[in-house]
Amino acid sequence: MRDYKIVVLGAGGVGKSSVTVQFVQGVYVESYDPTIEDSYRKQIEIDGRACDLEILDTAGIAQFTAMRELYIKSGKGFLLVYSVTDENSLKELLSLREQVLRIKDSDNVPMVLIGNKCDLENDRVLSIDDGIKVSEDWGMVPFYETSAMYKTNVDDAFIDVVRQIMRKEAATSAEKKQAKEAQKQKEANPPAKAEPSARVPDSKEGADHARSKQSSATKQAPSKSKCCTIV
């Protein structure tokens, strides 16, 4: 069983706790009690693999930003939650995402964007297109509108981020294996040593050798007899 740590981020009052409790316990928490930090565990099977999820429901208020950095460092996947009834909550996610990318020092972080409270149609100020636009701006980050009350898309959002973590781990493992195989291949087939090149005589030696060869050839050549014509 693999352990996956998921961090739920967002402004205060967007329903982070309600979404988390609905996913973990299958109940809807209606009253809003500002969270400092709550940790939940849930075992679930995803794509035939047993997973033990540790879900950290973080504070949405400013005085706990230092604690948030610690959560981000330890997290493997992130759910960024806003409320469709609060335009500022979506704007706050922009800086939260930048914080995640900075702390993780990567542009490839498993992440899901959630627009919660989609059941409150009469109070809605953000359309689904607003969420889609942010998703596109973030490089097509998966986006779900959820309702913690009716459990709409709640499971899908959590499962999506876990699948992203699995894919990233598989890609990292494949890269390490490929690098290891390449190293083994390199050690098994070391580059051939260069053969010592024949010594090339310098110009003086070459000239002396040519003169010596010419002199020897002259000595060895048979002499030609002179012919006389007697009349």
pLDDT of residue 52: 96
Q: CATH assignment of 3-170?
A: 3.40.50.300
- 219 has a pLDDT exceeding 60: no
Mean pLDDT of the chain: 84
Q: For the chain, give the DSSP string.
A: -EEEEEEEEE-TTSSHHHHHHHHHHS----S----SEEEEEEEEEETTEEEEEEEEEE--SGGGHHHHHHHHHH-SEEEEEEETT-HHHHHHHHHHHHHHHHHHT-S---EEEEEE-TT-GGG--S-HHHHHHHHHHTTS--EEE-BTTTTBTHHHHHHHHHHHHHHHHHHHHHHHHHHHHHHHHHHHSPPPPPPPPPPPP-HHHHHHHHHHHHHHHHHHSPPPPPP----
Mean pLDDT, rounded, for 110-130: 97
pTM of the model: 0.77
pLDDT of residue 70: 86
pLDDT band at 183 (very low <50, low <70, confident <90, very high): confident
pLDDT of residue 223: 46
pLDDT of residue 69: 85
